[in-house]
Structure 1
Amino acid sequence: MDGVKRRRVLSGGLTLAVAAGAAAAAPKSAATAAPRSTTATAPKGAADRTSRLRAILHRLTTADGAPGALVEVWHRHGSGTVLTSGVANVKSHAPMRRDSRFRIGSMTKPFVATVVLQLVGERRIALDAPVERYLPGVIRGHGNDGRTTTVRQLLQHTSGVPDYLAYLTPRDVLKDPLAHHDPRDLVNIALAHPPAFEPGTGWRYSNTDYLLVGLVIERVTGRTYGEEIHRRVIAPLGLCETRVPGDTPTIPGPHPRGYARPGGGAPLVDITAVNPSVAGAGGSMISSGTDLNRFLGALVGGELLRPAQQRQLMTTRPTGNPDGRAYGLGLESRPLPCGGLYWGHGGDILGYGTVGGATADGSQATVMVNLNPGGTDAQDADMKAAVQTALCERHH
């Protein structure tokens, strides 16, 4: 991923830089671990893998600049590990808690895609139908046209619809971080600009795609995307630490403060309280390592979708990234350094960065830092390295 910029839209989510404010610098980190399961036998090589994960977390909270970091791993053998490093609060120096909740940014997208694909299985949405069928007249102007753009293209980022975050300035958001942002207003920011390409002829990550998908869900069901996620995914899986917060700017339960660094050597800024409607269906959710691993395991394992929709979910197209990443419908695949691949997503939102992944044979890992934006260029790479290290168990 690209280095820190004043504003960036990453392949994994939503990031807006900040303009002012300061907090004390974070102290050096210290990693701690605790098993998620004490009854299962740890897989061979677990000690070596844990040591390598500790080293990555230490880099994240020292050289990479994050105040705190967490990784939670669940192995196909039935054992689990939670590692933390650094602090949840740079003023009180409270350590990062293993049961932390946090904003997950664009890891919201797989939840939204799951709802759509369930509706496809119920014959209430057709993937290759034009968006115009569900949102008449919404995608219009400057060459954008819902009559030639399909639901599948929105889910797979092949619509060409511009990303509203390329035009929404950080200063505009931070003038009133608690303000409500209507999804139609955010969509209209994007549609004031021409498409990146003709629908279906290219790939470009666009948060606007998922704002539109959220509107499709609401039009088809008569309920918000958040209500549908709760009744179709959160409640059935028992994800007690996961929610779609709407306009609520606080994070319930134990959570680290979220920080940003405006640039250079500037002090940290506490931006924990933000109205997540600015991210909407593209990135507003709150969750935990435990819940994200449960969700990813269920999704990749076929628990949430019918076989036909599962195949659609995992039918990918290349993104053009040199890391070999390919994008399905709200879920991406990446090669593992030990062979094979894993499925997951990343998420960036003010104050927090998250990466999660799962393998088809039943392992999951989620990593989180409470700094975004403002880490070093290596922060994104180290977060992905943590997930890959955790998932490469079968070669030990």
Structure 2
Amino acid sequence: MSESRHTAKRNRVRRPRVSQRVAVTALAAALLAGAAAPASATADGQAVPKAAAGQDRPELQKAIQAIVDAGFLGVQARVHDERGEWVGSAGRRKLGANAKPPANGRFRIGSSTKTFVATLVLQLVADGKIGLDKPVADYLPKFQLDRRITVRMLLQHTSGLYAYTGEFRPDGSVEPGIPAAGKEWADARFKTYQPEELVRFGLSRPAKFEPGTSWSYSNTNYTLAQLLIEKVTGRSIAEEMQRRILGPLKLRGTVLPGASPELPQPHPHGYFRYQDATGQWRVIDVTRQNPSMVAAAGDMISTTKDLATFYSALNGGKLLPAKLLAEMRKTHPKSAGPFGGYGLGTYVQDLGPNCGTVLHHNGATAGGYVAVMYGTPDGKKTWTASITFGDAAPDLAEAFPKARDNLLKQVFCDGQAGSADKAKPAQ
């Protein structure tokens, strides 16, 4: 999230906000030129380098195994760097089975969706259909929004709008929003929400601050961005995303599922652990869940390959004009913290000596899945991954960052210790 006060709050593990704590954003790099390892077929029928077995990059295989050892069920990861492409997996595809996660399986990417949505809005800005600094109320008058709230503020989380998935109170306790945690979410995980319904819930609560005066991560902003896209284009966000981004980049493993609970094959399973009314811990398979609870703030499904291709194209200047790509990377001072600063749908973070700058936007669902999306500003180096929850209760504030930071060091710091060793989980 942002400053130290918010950091302490984020460290209180709360599943509906995992996407805001565990996520460390990703910048998918373009496929690098140079000699590639001979390809072999994976269990899902896709060709990947022999490095998928972790044989020629043992340090990377060891690093993803450390994530499993931290208490997660499984990991599938992909790295693009000057040595070519490496793909690996560790752990298990599902409970009760020994098979590893598929090397390029589909998974729910949670708040990594926001980078796609921000890119789509900025493309519409480039086409003159949306004004980045115009009031959102000009496009969506029915919500009677404060006219000081601009399109930029939605994308940068500076609108002050209440997050409909819940907020932290000043004392660190949680003020719940729609059912997004515990047994309440488990019982409601197949419920269908309409985007307008979610926005109106957020608007029914007092704003956190005056528009533009501070920073606070809110899914309400990106659900409004979805409605904005649909209003100015006359098409659903799924259609517009397919037309402008997914189709041109041939991202065939990526979909906006709407209210469909299905996760296309092949995929790893995700699980959710909660206490029932008697205080007993329960673990349920939540691979199938209705993602309409977050709409375009976090509903997309993708693969490590598609995330890398997307982030590579974006940061390589293939999706936005240079001027708007620069706007995307301008961070708000109030968002500054241990994860860097937040621009328009992406974090910008300096990892320190031997590492340099990375862009990222990770994500997670209320239950089951964590997505990792990291990359360099030139798009030539990326790390994308899927991490699944099982029946354990890993320490998201301690165990995961240690395992993750080792991977950051291996990928972005040439294996040397930089400030990546001190990096904290981000959204």
Q: Flag whether TM exceeds 0.5 (same fold).
A: yes
Q: Residue in 2 aligned with 1:31?
A: none
Q: Residue in 2 aligned with 1:165?
A: 165
Distance in structure 2 (CA, Å) of the matches to 1:369 and 1:181? 26
Is 1:360 matched up with 2:366?
A: no
Among 66, 69, 86, the residue aligned to 2:75: 69
Q: In structure 2, the residue corresponding to 1:294 is in which secondary structure?
A: helix
Q: Residue in 1 aligned with 2:136?
A: 131
- RMSD between aligned residues: 2.7
Q: In structure 1, the residue corresponding to 2:77 is in which secondary structure?
A: strand
Is 1:8 matched up with 2:25?
A: no
Give the superposition deviation at 1:59. Answer: 2.4
Q: Residue in 1 aligned with 2:411?
A: 390
Q: Residue in 2 aligned with 1:57?
A: 64
Is 1:285 matched up with 2:291?
A: no
Q: Residue in 2 aligned with 1:340?
A: 356
Q: In structure 1, the residue corresponding to 2:66 is in which secondary structure?
A: helix
Among 117, 126, 135, the residue aligned to 2:122: 117
Change in Cα spacing, 1:90 to 1:201, as seen in structure 2 (3 Å) is same
Q: Aligned ranges for residues 1-396 of structure 1 at < 5 Å?
A: 1-5=10-14, 7-8=16-17, 10-11=19-20, 37-38=36-37, 50-62=57-69, 64-75=70-81, 77=82, 79-138=84-143, 140=144, 145-166=145-166, 167-169=177-179, 170=181, 171-262=183-274, 266=281, 268-320=283-335, 322-337=337-352, 338-349=354-365, 350-361=367-378, 362-371=380-389, 374-376=393-395, 377-381=397-401, 382-383=403-404, 385-393=406-414
Give structure 2 stretches of 5+ with no counterpart.
1-9, 24-34, 40-48, 167-176, 418-427
Change in Cα spacing, 1:13 to 1:66, as seen in structure 2 (3 Å) is closer
Residues 12 and 345, structure 1, Cα contact 8 Å, conserved in 2: no
Residues 183 and 211, structure 1, Cα contact 8 Å, conserved in 2: yes
Q: Using the aligned pairs only, state the percent identity.
A: 35
Q: Which amino acid aligns with 1:360?
A: P
Give structure 1 stretches of 5+ with no counterpart.
15-35
Q: Which amino acid aligns with 2:153?
A: Q
- Any idea what the Cα deviations from partners look like across 1:119-170, whole Å, max 9, x if unmatched? 00000000100010111031x4xxxx33110000000001100110101123
Normalising by structure 1, report the TM-score: 0.84
Residues 335 and 342, structure 1, Cα contact 8 Å, conserved in 2: yes
Count of matched residue pairs: 363
Give the superposition deviation at 1:313. Answer: 1.2
Give the superposition deviation at 1:11. Answer: 2.5
Give the superposition deviation at 1:51. Answer: 3.5
Q: Which amino acid aligns with 1:227?
A: E
Q: Which amino acid aligns with 1:391?
A: F
| Greater relative CO, 1 or 2 (CA 8 Å, sep 6+) | 2
Further displaced range: 338-347 or 119-128: 338-347
Residues 355 and 409, structure 2, Cα contact 8 Å, conserved in 1: no
Q: Which amino acid aligns with 2:386?
A: M
Q: In structure 1, the residue corresponding to 2:269 is in which secondary structure?
A: coil
Give the superposition deviation at 1:283. Answer: 0.4
Give the superposition deviation at 1:348. Answer: 0.8
